[in-house]
Structure formats: C-alpha cells, structure tokens
Structure 1
Amino acid sequence: MAGPRDTARPQTDTIDGAEVTNPYWQDTTLIRPVDAEPSAIELLSEETCWALTEACDIGRIAVVNDDGSPEVLPVNFLVHDRHIYIRSAPGSKLMNITSRPLVTFEVDGHDDENWWSVILHGGARRLAIDAEIDESGVLGLDSWNPTEKSNFVRVTPSRLSGRRFPKRSPRPQDEPPALEPNSAAPAQIVRGATDRFRTTIAWGLVVVTVFNVLSAVVGGVAMLLTNGLGMPTSFLAGGPFTGFLVPALILVLVVGGTQTAAAVLLLARREAALVWTAVAGFGLVIWIVVETAMIRGFSWLQLVYFTTGVLQVILVVALLGAVAWLPRRPLSDAFRPNDPRLGASTVRMTS
C-alpha cells in the first residue's frame, strides 16, 4: 500500500546520474475519494432509458473517422418507435456514418436528486425513402445550428444501457467562491438577465394559461347550469344557435380542453406545450370573435379573454426564439435560469 505519496511514481528520477523531475508524479494527498457508494448506482431498465431519452433533444453521437480515430459530435435528435433520428448536413459526419455505420449515442441529464446517463450502441443508416422520413417526424426536428440539413439518419439500437445515481452533497471546498456584486463579466451578466427574462416569460405563460383554463371551464359550466348566465336567448337571434347549450359545451370542451392540455404540458415542461399553447391561444381568440358576433355585443370580460389569448401567442413566439436577443432554449431550461456568475449550466449546440 502506498503511503501519503505514491511510491510507484516518485517525484524525481535519476537518469544518467542526474536527478530529474518525474512528469508523472502525483501527490495523492490531494486526491479525495468519491463519496458515492457503488450500491447507490441504479442500473436503468430499458423502459426507463427510453423515457429519459425521449424527454431530451440534445445528445452526442460517436463516429469513426477515416484514420480510425473516434469523434464525438453533439446533435439534435428525436425518438420514434425506439429509434434515434438526426438531421445532418453533407460533410464528414455523414460520410463516416455511411462508410462505417456502427455508432454509439449518448444522452444524459439530471433532476433535483439524481444524475443519469443512457448509452446506445447500434447501426446508423441514411434514410432515402420518403415514407420513412415522413413517418419518423424528423422533418419537424429543429436544429440549433442554422446550417441547412437535408439528410436524415436513423440509428437502430442493438444494445442499450443506462445508469442513475444520486447527487452528493458538495463539500465546502467544492462550492464556488462567492463573487462580489457586479463581479461577473459583462457577457455573463447579459446572459443571466436574458435567462431570467426567459424564465419570467415561461412562468407568465403558465399563469395566463391556467387563468384561461379556469375561466373557460368555470364559465362554461356556469352557462350550462344557469342557461346563459342570465343572458336572454334574444342575444342569439340570427345566429346558428337557439340556446346556450352548444356554446357552453364548446366553451368547456373545445376552449377549456385545449387550454387544459396546454397547461398540463407546460407544467410537465414538454416541448409540445408551446404548440398546444399557441393553438389554445388562437382558439380562445377565435371563440371571442365568434361569441361577439353571435350576441352582437362586446363586454370588458370579452376584452380580457381576447387579450389573454393574444398574450399566449405572443409569449409562445418569444419562447420559440423569434427575437434575436432571446434565442430559443429547451422548455425545461426556460423554467430554470442559470447563475450569471458561474456561466451557463449546459452548452447547447449541434454539429
């Protein structure tokens, strides 16, 4: 057993009678053991591996170059029918996959309590049949890199494994040093402000959507129970409805249903939430316009709901990166701003 210094790697060596520093010497007293016990590492089931992978949109693919050296590339991806689909521009990555199709794909992440990673080994193939491309949904895959990507690759897994282990509590020496106010670099301060603004938009969208859910469902049910909330049926004269039953059902099931779906997806932080919320916002605006035409009048409540519908659409457009200074980020990141003093928590890019 080595003592406080690794005797297998002495600090100095004697060469040709001269004492020289050993470049491989290491002071083992500076190395502390890992706190996590091996038993704390959880081997993930196949179902869990796929569930975690499907929830992500950035992964890394390892390919083999012409000279036999490995290369790891970050890529946007999607999962369909337990296959990995990526888009690729013409170049070395596509040529390497075509000539040496065996690849490794990795994705990782964390939650409040655990870190996890999933590794997939399999074969990659460039898709050339329109039906396969359309069915996979890869045409709708967004890429963080603006380069045009007209080639589509499918990775068919032959082996899948995953691990999850708890986060250890940081020791005092692990914690980053406290920074004085305004000590962050200007670029970090700007990025931090942008992240906080994006987070405000995301949570504002949640609040507006939940408000619309409650308004549509409660208003529709009240209209059913009171037969029009006290409004005379003469308000519907000349319209397609003779009573308030159908309008109430539309309000509850169509308007309230889409708003509820949007709210659930937003709270689950799924990327599909933005599409659903935009649809729900448009639906609410259309409903207010139709309702106004039917009753041939306009109240302040209708103005409020029209405004919330428009606001939903505007907030979705902002989160989709329509504004140059507010680039798009995964929805899960939008709810979790980074500390501007420490830099971004993750690097988002694609090859």
Structure 2
Amino acid sequence: MQFDIRDLVDLLPMHVCLDRSGKILSSGRTIARILGGHARMSDAFVHIGRDGQETAPEDMLARIASGRRVFLNLRAREDIYLRGHGVPSRGGCLLLNLGFGVSLSPAIRAFDLTDSDFSPADLAMEFLFLHEANKAALSELSRVNKSLKAAREDAQLMSITDPLTGVLNRRGFDLAFSRAMEQREKTPFALIHLDLDHFKQVNDRFGHAAGDRILQQAAEAIRAEIRASDKLCRAGGDEFLILMFSTTCHAAIQSACHRIIRRIETMETGCESSGVSASIGIAICPPGLAAGTFDLFERADAALYQAKDTGRGRVRTWEELE
C-alpha cells in the first residue's frame, strides 16, 4: 500500500521529512511556519546533545536514522525548544515528528498558533488550557492571599488604634511600652501623662459631639509637638499617654509639654469660652534601673495630680516631688 507524503501535511502538522543530508523535503503546515523558509534543518535548529551543548548536524541525522529522540533549539528564538522522534522511511528519507513540550506557551505567543495548528490527536492545546487555567487559579489565589494579608494587617492595626483620634489605644501603648522597657538601656525615654482640664464641662455644656471634636484636635495638637519616633496613646476619656524617646533632658521635655499645653489652649474648638487646657505629669525612665524596681505609671500619675492640684494647665515631673 502506498500513500502520498503530501497527505502528512494535514495529518501531522509538526512533521519534517528530510533526505540523508538534512535537506528538508516536506513539512507540516505548522512546522513550516516555524522553519521560516529554511531549506535545511541545521539552518533553523540547533541540535542539543545529552550534555546540553550544541552538536553537529550529522549527530542529529544519525539519531533520527536510528529512531532515537532528538532535542532542538530554534535559532531564531532561544527560548523555544522542540523535541521529537524520527524514523527512516522505506523511500530512504528521514521522517521526524516534533512537539513543543515545555516551550508550548512561548511558541504559541511567538507564532500566533491556535488549536487548528495542531493535530486533532495532539493534546498540546489541552495541556495549554490546563496550564493557563492553573496560572489563572494561582493568580486569583495570590490576589486573595494579598487581600487576606491586607485585611489581617488592617485588623491588627485597628486592634491597637483608637478609632476616634487615630492614635494608639491602651493595648497598642502597652505593647510599645513593653518594647521601650526592653530597650531602655540603649534608648532611655520619658513617660508623659496628660489630662485635659475642664473637658467634662465641655461635654455637659456643648454635647458629646463637641467633646469628640476636641479630643481629635487635642490628639493633633500633641502629635504636632512630638517626633514620629515618639508614641502617643489615648488611654481613655480625656487622658493621653506619651512615650518620648527624642530626649530625656528635663528642660527639653518640660518645654515640649508647655508647647503642647499652649496648642491645646489655643485650639479653634467652635465652642465659645470652652476653657480647655491640659495638665501634664512626667516620669523619666533612665538607663541602668532594673525592671520591677519602680512603677513608671505611678510616678507619672503622681506628677499629673500634683500639676492639677497646683492650678491646672501646669507641667510637673516626678523628680520634683521627691
């Protein structure tokens, strides 16, 4: 039984028929596009040996003639590899059928291949569809993971943030205070306790909405006088706590606290004659003191109450009480 080799053009779109010198006698319609008009296989392809290096065209022809697999790299596109299996035909030529393997995706993009460019029995496109579906699924999974990570980070931030003023809440401040205590040998700091004066009267006279605005403005006023490395917390009600790392110089801390009070007293609250001010107590944590030998919060509280007792709108340090 005889057949016309031209029948292979449609049946095996990725076949190449060669003579014994490597000249291309015929090729399938798909591989013909890839060959780009070259007359010899060695003009279009580099044969890759077992060691991953280029070999002579004769080695490729010998492997085809002996029925062994061949691995080819397209000269025009170094990212595209083909592999195939060849057999010698009865007519004396060499018949080679090729496939893209892992280079399917770049080959389809490079040569604009579609399902019609492959044999109906070739599963290449099905594998491509699975590959693309897998990529899409992984991309969506990555997007979901990023969204979950962002949501988790937002939730963590919200858990340590006061929703009204945007500064730390007491939980967030306690975490910052613990870290500050661990690093106090290298970075001494001061704990500052601030309480708004006459705030209750504002709530009673102008309502809680006005009180909320004043708390927000007070937080901004404090932030304006401390550095980014310092930590600010709304401890509850009209009380604020500050960890000041920028200096432990008594005079510098007192000066910063007086500026905070002036800012609070001159806020545009929208409440006529609100009379809001602030009292501040300071306790400095010097290096060299063992944890547990003193309570910094108690010292700051004692200094704060002394400031209130001496007329409010005042600044006192715990050291002044000793």
TM-score bucket (shorter structure): under 0.3
- The higher relative CO (CA closer than 8 Å, separation ≥ 6) is in 1
Q: Which has the larger radius of gyration?
A: 2
TM-score, with length taken from structure 2: 0.18
